[in-house]
Chains A and B, each alone.
Chain A
Amino acid sequence: MADLAISAHGLGKRYRLGRLESGFRRVRRIVSRQAGPGHLWALRDLSFDVPEGESLAIVGSNGAGKSTLLKILARITEPTTGYVDVAGRVAALVEVGTGFNPELTGRENIYLNGTLLGMTRKEIDLRLDEIVAFAGVEQHLDKPVKWYSSGMYVRLGFAVAAHLEPDILIVDEVLSVGDLAFQQKCLGRMGEVAEGGRTVLFVSHNLAAVSALCPNAMYLRNGEITARGPTREVVDRYVDDVKSTAHVNVRSRLDRQGDGRLRFTEVRVGDGSVTTGDDCEISMLYEGTPGPGRVRVGFAVYGALVEPIFQCLNETSGDVIAELAADGAFTCTIPRLPLAPGHYTISIYCEVDGKVADWVEHAAVLEVVEGDFYGTGRLPSDAHGNIYVDQTWRSEPATVTPIHLGRSAL
């Protein structure tokens, strides 16, 4: 049996709900004998081992305790109960380019960021050339990073992190930044770290990336370990759970976020199911009196692997909603639904005046039945995506363009 890199015993973390009371409010609350702000256990009695050299994925929906677990392992915060033994140096990448200062030069920021992540100046001296080359900022090393493009900024941040040599590397969704090529580079680098025999913990919503990188996974739900084992089994379990919670009545869901100025009670999808290529109406019913305020409301659609497919948001579609009736419904119409037949889940979200009012993940199931999207009676196979786009085809001889290109190249 391999040596353990991480061994947790009865790990728990409790947070206090709500903000600090002012003295005046506290006096008023005690006088009127109301209960104080409650507590929330973000993690409860977690016990697990991670052998040295394992790449372990941590999956679970928002609020399941993944980030809290990472914060404890990274010593950003302390557990409330239990303990965890960690062998060697831990580097946690919760964000790329933590502590970058726009006034400092690229070189100075490499040193600031590197020492912040626990490297010594000597270690950075040794790897400076590599870091600079990886980020591709040789020309701009001694310019303040405020002159950098956002791409250069992110690349430099990741380059520093990628050249840490921790015994345990913890990565939290940093891969959601940057362009696709850069994300590939990051995943590649993580793979190298893992192959180098180091322990990697990877927290992500991207189940495809998780499956590619980590042979083993751990699934957290409501602060507890629900499954731990081979990634495929754990991911299946997670996906099943997401689907079954999506069948739960929205009104009775407790795992929601927001200040509750309005609460979703039901999601209605057409007549229960919708047809590919037909116009589709999705209604989100709510209760509550949110009062006047700018409303951002929307939903996101997820596929069979809980991968995000698309989202609809009144803000981006340009539909302004400035006033809400008490108890009502938001309805979104999607003309010619471009989704392949199958089962999808929908997360619903509403914000009033910049504050989240209600947010329920995987609140409902969207069942799409086969239809005639293209008007040809045919649909492509779903092996290469589950979104349909309008298209036209033509063919033309290859004689015109080369001459034109040749001229403009001069």
Chain B
Amino acid sequence: MPAPVPVQDVHAGREAFASDLQDALKGASPATRGWAMPNDLTLLVPLFSPSVNGNSDAYLLRLFFDHYSNGPPSALFVNPLTMSYSFPDDVMWVPLIEGHPAIHFHTNYSNGGQLICSSTTLEFYKVNHNVEEQNIWRPGEMSFMSTISAIKAGLTLPYYKGRSTK
């Protein structure tokens, strides 16, 4: 059954993100992890596909924290030039994966745009996706690192198939 859609609270989101970011970085700057913060509600995370024939593909994950940590961060793969996602122009910036049991990347889910289909993303709840009780986001017990880790798991072999084309 679907889980409730988390409530937006920008002030709480900003504070929870700042606190969790500090814990995740352990005193270091976001740049030490290769991350960037264009503002205090947004985190940009570069991710790389596994190497196939010696080449890796680069992707840019944009996390947004306006519902955090009542709910998980919003998570989208974005065009690194525009920092946004527009279907169908930007589908190549979304990884194509097949067969992972816990995550999938949709370029245009039900004609509503991109969906990183994981219980660790806000959009998953906004589309009222079915979810098992044990997988529902648990405020205070989970962090944005849970989101990044779940997405990285999708970007591994044998699931990764290249860039999306449609």
A binds B: no
Contacts from A to B (Cβ < 8 Å): none
